[in-house]
Amino acid sequence: MQKWEEIEQKKEYLKGYIKAKNREALIKDQIQQLRLDTMFPALQGDGMPRGSSQKDLSDYTAKIESLMEELKKEWVESVIRYERIRKAINKMNDEQEKEALTRYYILREKWKEIKNKMGVSEAKLYRIYDRALENFEIL
């Protein structure tokens, strides 16, 4: 694999942190909505109560529980993914490289903010970032 391909692969891996955190938030919202749906199954979107048999409610509750279990598994996978990325960054030896990757990929800061907080020029920040990507190891 060529060097630039390896760097691009590392960037995509690091972007996985943001994707995993976004996925986690979406899953939490879905679980919350399912909990509300479970509490008030007889109400539809228009707010009007509907009659239904006990069997219908049991089937509905079972489907909701099954869906919640699937979402919880996805949630755990997302947490594992972003924790793995965070650990890989923290394993790095150079503090500036670690800080640049953490601020950019985990804290989602803009380059201008990062250079100001790190107290370096923009050119120096990009050199630190490039070196960080070269030294970063995917776990």
Q: Indicate yes or no: pTM above 0.75.
A: no
Say if CB 93 and CB 101 are below 8 A apart. no
- Residue 89: which domain range? 3-43+53-135
Q: Is residue 129 part of a domain?
A: yes
Task: Name the CA radius of gyration of the chain, rounded.
Answer: 22
The total number of structural domains that make up the chain: 1
Two tokens, residue 118: 């790190």
Q: Is residue 115 part of a domain?
A: yes
DSSP 65: H
pLDDT at 35: 80
pLDDT at 65: 83
Reduced to 3 states (helix: H, G, I; strand: E, B; else coil), residue 42 is coil
- Quote the CA–CA distance of 90 and 105 in Å, as a whole number: 13
Q: Is residue 101 part of a domain?
A: yes
pLDDT at 20: 86
The full DSSP string for 49-63 is B----HHHHHHHHHH
pLDDT digits (tens, 9 = 90+) for 74-99: 889 888 988 999 999 999 999 999 99
Q: Is residue 19 part of a domain?
A: yes
Compute the Cα dihedral for 38, 42, 44, 49 and give only its sign. Answer: negative
CA dihedral 63, 68, 73, 74 (to 10 degrees): 100
Q: Is residue 48 part of a domain?
A: no
Q: Is residue 117 part of a domain?
A: yes
Where the chain has pLDDT below 50, the residues are 48-49
